[in-house]
Amino acid sequence: MARTRFTGSFTQQPPIPEEGIAAALAVMRSGRLHRYNVAAGEESETMALEREYASWQGSRYCIAVASGGQAMQIALRAAGVLPRDAVLTNGFTLAPVPGAIAAVGGRPILVEITQDLVIDLDDLAVKARQTGARHLLLSHMRGHQCDMDRLVRLAADLNLAVIEDCAHTMGATWNGRRSGAFGVAGCFSTQTYKHLNSGEGGLLTSDDAEFIARATILSGSYMLYERHGAGADKETFVDIRLDNPNMSARMDNLRAALLRPQLRHIENSIAAWNERHDYLALRLAVCPSIRMPTRPHAERYVGSSIQFLVPGIAPSDARGFIERLAAVGVELRWFGAAQPVGFTSDHRSWRYAGAQSLPRTDAILSDLFDMRLPLTFSLEDCALLAEHILDSVSVLASKCGA
């Protein structure tokens, strides 16, 4: 049966809310774009964003920075990572995660993942003991959370400081507790394809006053650390302000103005993402050739993308699968490709991290496909996407059966 070609854009996000546009125009008219450039008695847009995000996240402290990658780099430095220190992270993640470790001079130690696309806690324990690592940059890649209760216990046993990469889990929870609240810090991205959109941007949260004071100085506060909406008391900065370098990674008022209205509507956005994700996941799950990752009951996820596996697919068949779908307008990513494509890469592309053996992760990624689900897609769009994917899987099954 011939299907209608899919014509939606996988990179088109909803427009910025009108109240965000109005706030951004007000910032531009004022000329005070720098976060510390405020009139007497005025709270800057960036200060207000930090206060509001900390309140929503349930964290004592928050600083707004230039990108999610900068949030991770600053968090690693503030947590005490030194040059040549081993830092553990998932074998399945995106390049900015090992990139952040390398940027502070650390050595990324990649940990195997499970069939459900989360960090393998048994392999984590083995590699922590083998390397003596004292830091874990935990990536909730594509919004999949491991057993966070077990992770916290394991980190305590191994004396691991946990920093969470929450680029894909802003608003997600585990047993009611927000992602980003399980370790020393949570790192969030406001890049266009994340859950809040300012083009580029990041947020760093913590409940540790000394950690956030170090991070604030590192972010580039000069001696203006009191001009933060959710910062540590000035007494915390007495020595810290002199011992930490300025890395100039501040968010500006223009981006903060765009983000604040989006934050007020984020719960509606999460519900809309999950409606699309769950509709598509149910359609794909009935296909015997497809395996969907298991979502634990403890997890409340944010389904801004969807992942599925075609177990045992050969590389040539995977490439054909991608090409057939591209011909009908469906942009699917495959994590088993030998070369990085667009935003998709794996550990073999991160030569700066050193060659590492991840046979279980490699086997899983060779079967793994991934697709964005922007809120500009309707449920009718999701129905058509499901039909095209199932059609292409059917062709693949027929070919393999022959």
Write the CATH number for 134.
Answer: 3.40.640.10
What six digits make up the tokens of 45?
């847009």
- What integer pLDDT is reported at residue 341 of this predicted model? 78
Of 341 and 253, more confident: 253
The conformation of residue 115, written as its DSSP 8-state character, comes to T
Decide if pLDDT at 399 tops 80: no
Q: How many domains does the chain have?
A: 2
Contact 90, 110 (CB under 8 A): yes
Q: Average pLDDT, whole number, for the chain? A: 96
Helix residue spans in 265-354 (DSSP H): 266-285, 315-327
Same domain, 256 and 290: no
**Mean predicted confidence (pLDDT) in 315-333:** 96
Cβ neighbors of 398 (< 8 A, separation 6 or more) are none
Residue 230 within any structural domain of the chain: yes
Same domain, 275 and 217: no
What six digits make up the tokens of 49?
């964003």
Same domain, 200 and 310: no
* Whether pTM exceeds 0.85: yes
- The candidate with the shortest Cα–Cα distance to 50, out of 227, 270, 182, 170, is 227
CB atoms under 10 Å from CB of 121, counted, come to 18
Same domain, 24 and 132: yes
- The candidate with the shortest Cα–Cα distance to 134, out of 184, 72, 202, 181, is 184
- What integer pLDDT is reported at residue 401 of this predicted model? 54
Same domain, 38 and 56: yes
Same domain, 363 and 218: no
Decide if pLDDT at 138 tops 60: yes
Same domain, 134 and 254: yes
Which residues in 249-394 belong to E strands, given as ranges? 299-300, 305-309, 333-334, 368-372
Q: Where is the domain boundary, 233, 264, 295? A: 264
Q: Where is the domain boundary, 264, 281, 307? A: 264
Task: Round to whole Å and give the CA distance between 320 and 313.
Answer: 11
Same domain, 212 and 271: no
Element (H, E) at 38: none
Residue 13 within any structural domain of the chain: no
Decide if pLDDT at 283 tops 80: yes
Which of 238-243's residues contact partners 24+ apart within 8 Å by CB, and which partners?
Answer: 240/210, 240/213, 240/214, 241/213, 241/217
Residue 8 within any structural domain of the chain: no
- The candidate with the shortest Cα–Cα distance to 145, out of 110, 102, 109, 181, is 181
Same domain, 53 and 80: yes
State the pairing for strand pair 305-309/368-372.
antiparallel
Cβ neighbors of 238 (< 8 A, separation 6 or more) are none
Q: Where is the domain boundary, 208, 241, 264? A: 264
- What integer pLDDT is reported at residue 1 of this predicted model? 59
- What integer pLDDT is reported at residue 41 of this predicted model? 86
Write the CATH number for 393.
Answer: 3.90.1150.10
Same domain, 322 and 388: yes
Give the domain extent around 32: 18-264
Which of 81-86's residues contact partners 24+ apart within 8 Å by CB, and which partners?
Answer: 81/105, 81/106, 81/135, 82/106, 85/133, 85/134, 85/135, 86/131, 86/132, 86/133, 86/135
pLDDT, one tens digit per residue, over 158-212 is: 999 999 999 999 999 999 999 999 999 999 999 999 999 999 999 999 999 999 9
Decide if pLDDT at 342 tops 80: no
Residue 10 within any structural domain of the chain: no
Decide if pLDDT at 402 tops 60: no
Cα 221 to chain centroid distance, Å, stands at 25
**Mean predicted confidence (pLDDT) in 214-223:** 97
Residue 3 within any structural domain of the chain: no
- What integer pLDDT is reported at residue 324 of this predicted model? 96
Whole-number Cα distances in Å, 357 to 193, 286, 365: 30, 34, 14
- What integer pLDDT is reported at residue 28 of this predicted model? 97
Same domain, 29 and 55: yes
**Mean predicted confidence (pLDDT) in 80-97:** 97
Sheet with strand 299-300: strands edge to edge: 177-178, 173-174, 299-300
Task: Round to whole Å and give the CA distance between 113 and 100.
Answer: 20
Which residues in 74-184 belong to E strands, given as ranges? 86-90, 107-111, 135-139, 161-165, 173-174, 177-178
* 135 φ, ψ (degrees, to nearest 5): -135, 140
**Mean predicted confidence (pLDDT) in 243-267:** 97
Residue 340's pLDDT band (cuts 50, 70, 90): confident
Residue 36 within any structural domain of the chain: yes
Residue 377 within any structural domain of the chain: yes
What six digits make up the tokens of 168?
């894909």
- What integer pLDDT is reported at residue 338 of this predicted model? 79
Residue 4 within any structural domain of the chain: no
Task: Round to whole Å and give the CA distance between 390 and 336.
Answer: 20
Same domain, 65 and 113: yes
